[in-house]
Structure 1
């Protein structure tokens, strides 16, 4: 892995382990620029100090660029992308790539990994279920409903279970989950 503080490399996206991020974050001279791309509800529930919040479902390159300029962050400073597990941070990197002059650094394992390492996490007033768990609950519920309706009402309802299964396979292959993007826009996540 390239050193995220090395500005001689191109401005491509790199990854940093949660352990390396923790060391950088706890360094006395640390002035890391961290963008948290989780939902509003997730950030209200728990957050890392000194992060700026740009939810992935609302991520706008122009707004991020304006924020960086307003705060006086020059392009020699890397921008760390943080989410719950690293998946949404990778998506955010894809959206921001090319629009920002900063090197983008994905924190592998996201908040989940940082919590396991014992990094200080501020607990908020919110008590929500993570987006990944919401997807598993919704997908599992739809499969069960499809099976029950297929058995009790009409075998055609088995198609609902098949549709959800196919969607999960698609999400796994493409690393893009439509159900997660829909759930992220739900009122309880805003």
Structure 2
């Protein structure tokens, strides 16, 4: 299998008007800032959206975006396995913003939601610290919690997936607007 095609920020900016941009982050992350015109189809819902993405891809090139490029790369692989060619944005929305490009936000959102990578780092660090402290103060067996998180992080690095991110993505603060997927699919059908 070939790796997904990647577009640099400058190329994506120049072609933005002709691309169907799909942001695979959680709705909470999407509300915090996304590429202009992007549609929010979270990674865990990408298979459900396949027919509509395929319909849009027949009319324009598809650019898949996330915070850094990891989730969008996974989405591109899923799409490719199902006959849909798509590119990913090199460096994700972080590179887009670092390049001086503006991010859009839905009306009424403050954009205060942390990105998924930051949420994972905070949660992993907190659980490891708690496991170590409880291991010292209560019972040494609590150190196994820290070991489990460390093993999960190693597995995440080796596989390019993250179980903790998958769990965190389902929390209510990461899904503030449940109806957005239907609206995004409707737009994809119309393209």
Runs (4+) off by over 4 Å: none
Residue 24 of structure 1 pairs with residue 15 of structure 2? yes
Deviations 1:1-53 (A, max 9, x none): xxxxxxxxxx973111223212322xxxx321111101101111212221121
Equivalent in the alignment of 1:165: 150
Equivalent in the alignment of 2:181: none
Equivalent in the alignment of 1:145: 130
Using the size of structure 1 for normalisation, the TM-score is 0.83
Structure 1 CA distance for aligned equivalents of residues 3 and 134 of structure 2: 49
Deviations 1:102-144 (A, max 9, x none): 4210111000000001112123414101100000000000100
Structure 2 CA distance for aligned equivalents of residues 122 and 76 of structure 1: 24
Using the size of structure 2 for normalisation, the TM-score is 0.82
* Contact 1:83–1:89 (CA under 8 A) maintained in structure 2: yes
Equivalent in the alignment of 2:39: 52
Once the two structures are superposed, the pairs formed by residues 174-185 of structure 1 within 5 Å of their partners are: 174-185=159-170
Structure 2 CA distance for aligned equivalents of residues 132 and 74 of structure 1: 29
> Which ranges in structure 1 are unaligned for 5 or more consecutive residues?
1-10
- Bigger helix fraction: 2
Structure 2 CA distance for aligned equivalents of residues 35 and 134 of structure 1: 22
Q: Give 1:68 deviation, angstroms.
A: 4.9
When structure 1 is superposed on structure 2, of 174-183 and 74-83 the one drifting more is 74-83
Helix, strand or coil: the match of 1:159? helix
Residue 187 of structure 1 pairs with residue 187 of structure 2? no
Aligned residues: 171
Structure 2 CA distance for aligned equivalents of residues 104 and 36 of structure 1: 12
* Contact 2:64–2:76 (CA under 8 A) maintained in structure 1: yes
Helix, strand or coil: the match of 2:81? coil
Q: Give 1:161 deviation, angstroms.
A: 0.7
Structure 1 CA distance for aligned equivalents of residues 166 and 39 of structure 2: 21
* Contact 1:36–1:51 (CA under 8 A) maintained in structure 2: yes
Superposed CA RMSD: 1.9
* Contact 2:25–2:43 (CA under 8 A) maintained in structure 1: yes
Structure 1 CA distance for aligned equivalents of residues 70 and 132 of structure 2: 30
When structure 1 is superposed on structure 2, of 171-180 and 50-59 the one drifting more is 50-59
* Contact 1:57–1:185 (CA under 8 A) maintained in structure 2: no
